[in-house]
Amino acid sequence: MASAESVAQGAASPGPESSGELSPEQTLAGYRLMVRARAIDERCLSLQRQGRIGFYAPLMGQEAAQVGCAFAVRPEDWMFPAYRELAVALARGATLKSILDQLLGNSADLTKGRQMPNHFGFADQHFVTASSPIGTQITQAVGAAMAAQRRKDPIVAVAFFGDGATSSNDFHAGMNFAGVFRTPTIFFCQNNQWAISLPREKQTRSKTLAEKAEAYGFSGVVVDGTDLAAVHRAVRDARARAVAGDGPTLIEAQVYRLGPHSTSDDPKRYRSDAEVAQWKERDPLVRLRGELLAAKLLDEAADQKIWEEARAEVVSVFAQAEQEPPLDPDSIFDDIFASPTPRLDEERREASEHPVAPGGSHG
């Protein structure tokens, strides 16, 4: 497992020099977005413990990696998330209301209650709906990139996954296809050191995850995932190579999952308080806040206001989402066929004759 100290001492591999660094205004915008994501995380963890939402997978500690990546791609590019890419969705323009509606599975949920909570998707933002199976989005991203390549569309597909997914079949199949066909794919691995309870060093003997790309014929880059600018630079350069026809890149953003794997997990059972404390010193929000204060792009009063506004927004928007009515049970029959079949119509009639009362009992 890479320690917080090793990342701090420069485990990041420098990318090629090019233009397009984040401006001070973009950096401050990135910080605001990271704070917003952290505020949502805090609130959603609390809401799940209160029984007001059913499930949540936090991203605490991975905000800089996600925002840095999102800021380096373009609106026409396609994102293929796992189930922890909240900050990417926000950066792409997904609304907080639409995300909270999905967590609740109410009548405003774009997925109509047919996905697990925290598995949202937004077609307008080119943000594909997440799936629970580990790594399946990797091959999907490669397929989308191959299609773009054949259409000669100058776009990239970005596959997001964790260190655990590098042990999946889809990782190897996707990497091999991308290497053979030189697809415009960015494999963005957020190595948060733990695949639920399995530490990274028990998954592979490779010195880094990024070096696995060499076996498939393309470049791998290790970057400090707590550094917004470094991640942005690595993804920006990978995108430039992809659209120039130079093939895919595997980026290993070294981060740490500060919270649980999900609200169904108790990380105290498998990792030490000392380890978590060490990585908390590398909290990407604390790091970027310090940089902004030092550069006089932010002061203590402005920072406090950013946090207060972010937390107030989550409380307010969740209250709105809770007021949405529940889904109509008959919606289960929608979107199955372009034209309903006689059998489906019969099932709908039978369901309406025997409605299910709130709580699941038959009326």
Contact between 224 and 211 under an 8 Å Cβ cutoff? The reply is no
Query: Catalytic pick from 52, 74, 270, 349?
Result: 270
270 is catalytic: yes
> Closest by alpha carbon to 310, among 48, 90, 81?
90
Query: Catalytic pick from 261, 271, 282, 289?
Result: 261
CA distance 21 to 97: 31
257 is catalytic: yes
In 43-178, DSSP assigns E strands to 78-80, 157-162
Query: Catalytic pick from 257, 271, 311, 349?
Result: 257
CA distance 356 to 363: 6
What length does the chain have?
363
CA distance 59 to 41: 7
CA distance 177 to 208: 21
Residue 213 has which token pair? Answer: 């790309």
Q: What are the residues whose beta carbons fall under 8 Å from the beta carbon of 1, sequence distance 6 or more?
A: 193, 199, 200, 201
Q: Would strands 78-80 and 249-254 be described as parallel, antiparallel, or unpaired?
A: unpaired
Residue 247 has which token pair? Answer: 């093939």
CA distance 22 to 6: 25
Q: Which residues pair with 356 in a beta bridge?
A: 362
> Closest by alpha carbon to 125, among 184, 79, 67, 186?
79
> Closest by alpha carbon to 297, among 70, 19, 23?
23
- Residues marked active site are found at 257, 261, 270
